[in-house]
Structure 1
């Protein structure tokens, strides 16, 4: 989920905590729990500090250790201890419980979307994603806003008990829908090596990535119908250059952040552009998350880029900058 959604969840959990009479009857504890739930809802994203080492380093490490099993209690304990210093005498057990719940919610909701996390570290480096929630879900945000609008009229604990029951039901429906769709597609595409669902904002609408031995199929699914919009052959041109490019630090960091990157090579007069595109994210035939490496014909000049392109204009600027840096 995005930062705004995590913050909203933090305030929602702070309101839900008021269902506990120990918290609702103590204004100091209520404030401490609210701070713990809001900050805890964003605590795993402390790995934003990797940006200080560059975007490539951030892509490699984001949603890794800070979203792992050991990190959940550690972050919760550290945060609760710090808040307790600011609010001495408050109940540590209550503060820790709601902070822990907030941190856990953050990791869970990151697992629910297409990016996933390495939640099982250090036992496994596998990325876990359940693929049934979009990165930003407006329905969850709107349900929270509805709950906040009712707080002046009804007890916050009761309001958000109902709000979160509604959200749990919504999540269950989306999860079941994703599981049934994937099962249906696997039966139809029996030769598929893997099928990846990318949930759209509207419920029951999906972008679909299907990998076979020969190619990738990209399509959209809605109302029981699948439209295959275009395909890419899995044939790789200039495999030696592709292998060489994968060892570039920026490209390597990018490849470590996704198992859905695929290389495309474009030959020009001055050399070769190798594009590693994350196939999960696309707008028609435009793939915004990618790594690009240029290798001159004589192999003497090399330059690379990795990141997210926000538009065709941004893509052209990146290509222009790369071209300028090799002159």
Structure 2
């Protein structure tokens, strides 16, 4: 989820914590818990400092150790220790419990969307994602806004108990419908290798990627109907260049962040363009998240780009810059 959503969750958990009389009757502890849940709800994303070392380092590490099993208690302890000096006399156990809950909820929410996390580190480096929440969920945000708007009229802790109960039911419906739809698609596409569900804003609509031995099928599923919009053949031109490009440090880091990157090769006057497109993110036939590598026609020079393209104009600027750099 995005930073704003995590902040909203932090405030919501701070409000929910008021169900505890020890917190609601102690203004210092109450403030400490609210500050702690807001900071804790964002703590796993403090790995954005990897950006200072470049995109390749960020792709390699984001949502890795920072969202792992050991990171949950570690972030909770660090956050509690950082906040405690500003709220002398506050109950450490109460602060730690709610901060731990906020950190845990952050990791779970990121696990629920298409990006996923390496939540099972150090036992597994596999990327896990349950694919039943969009990156920004307006319904969850509206539930929180409703809860905040009711605070002048009702008791804070009880209000957010009902808000979070409603949210739990909503998440359960999202999870159930996504898994059931995926199961139905697997029954129909029995020869598929993988099926990826990319949740849309509506709880009952998904973009779908179906991988077979021969190709990738891209479709849209809604109201019991799947519409295949286009396909990509898995045949790869210049396989040797593709292998070479995958060993480039920036491209390798990009590939570590997704299991749904696939190469496309295009020969131009300036050289060979190898596009590693993250198939999970698309707008029709445009894939904005990718790694691009340009290898000169004599194989002596290469340049690369990794990141997210915001438009066709942005794409053309990147291509022109790569072509200029290799001359």
Q: Per the shorter chain, which TM-score range?
A: over 0.9
* 1:75-154 superposed matches below 5 A: 75-154=75-154
Alignment pair present for 1:3 and 2:23: no
| CA distance, structure 1, for counterparts of residue 2 and residue 320 of structure 2 | 30
| CA distance, structure 1, for counterparts of residue 59 and residue 270 of structure 2 | 29
CA contact (8 A) 2:220 2:226 kept: yes
| CA distance, structure 1, for counterparts of residue 160 and residue 18 of structure 2 | 9
| CA distance, structure 1, for counterparts of residue 177 and residue 150 of structure 2 | 30
CA contact (8 A) 1:2 1:135 kept: yes
Aligned partner of residue 286 in structure 2, secondary structure? coil
Indicate the residue corresponding to 1:158 in structure 2: 158
The structure 1 segments of at least 4 consecutive aligned residues displaced by more than 2 Å after TM superposition are: none
CA contact (8 A) 2:237 2:265 kept: yes
| CA distance, structure 2, for counterparts of residue 326 and residue 297 of structure 1 | 10
Q: CA deviation at 1:137?
A: 0.5
Q: CA deviation at 1:319?
A: 1.1
Indicate the residue corresponding to 1:299 in structure 2: 299
| CA distance, structure 2, for counterparts of residue 116 and residue 82 of structure 1 | 28
Indicate the residue corresponding to 1:22 in structure 2: 22
Q: CA deviation at 1:292?
A: 0.1
Aligned partner of residue 157 in structure 1, secondary structure? helix
Q: CA deviation at 1:311?
A: 1.2
CA contact (8 A) 2:270 2:323 kept: no
Q: CA deviation at 1:262?
A: 0.3
Q: CA deviation at 1:221?
A: 0.1
Q: CA deviation at 1:189?
A: 0.1
Q: CA deviation at 1:271?
A: 0.9
CA contact (8 A) 2:193 2:213 kept: yes
| CA distance, structure 2, for counterparts of residue 237 and residue 60 of structure 1 | 27
| CA distance, structure 2, for counterparts of residue 138 and residue 115 of structure 1 | 18
Q: CA deviation at 1:322?
A: 1.1
> What number of residue pairs does the alignment pair up?
327
Indicate the residue corresponding to 2:246 in structure 1: 246
Q: CA deviation at 1:87?
A: 1.1
Indicate the residue corresponding to 1:172 in structure 2: 172
| CA distance, structure 2, for counterparts of residue 275 and residue 320 of structure 1 | 15
Segments of 5+ residues of structure 1 without an aligned counterpart are none
Q: CA deviation at 1:57?
A: 1.2
Aligned partner of residue 93 in structure 2, secondary structure? helix
| CA distance, structure 1, for counterparts of residue 132 and residue 272 of structure 2 | 38
| CA distance, structure 1, for counterparts of residue 153 and residue 317 of structure 2 | 52
CA contact (8 A) 1:56 1:307 kept: no
Segments of 5+ residues of structure 2 without an aligned counterpart are none
Aligned partner of residue 274 in structure 1, secondary structure? strand
State the TM-score, normalized to the length of structure 1.
0.99
Aligned partner of residue 291 in structure 1, secondary structure? strand
Q: CA deviation at 1:270?
A: 2.0
Indicate the residue corresponding to 1:273 in structure 2: 273
Q: CA deviation at 1:251?
A: 0.4
| CA distance, structure 2, for counterparts of residue 144 and residue 316 of structure 1 | 41
Deviation string 1:90-115 (CA, Å, 9 cap, x unpaired) is: 10000000000000000000000011
State the TM-score, normalized to the length of structure 2.
0.99
Between 1:313-322 and 1:99-108, the stretch displaced more is 313-322
| CA distance, structure 2, for counterparts of residue 72 and residue 31 of structure 1 | 22
| CA distance, structure 2, for counterparts of residue 2 and residue 170 of structure 1 | 19
Indicate the residue corresponding to 1:260 in structure 2: 260
Aligned partner of residue 120 in structure 2, secondary structure? coil
Aligned partner of residue 158 in structure 2, secondary structure? helix
Deviation string 1:8-38 (CA, Å, 9 cap, x unpaired) is: 0000000000000000000000010001000
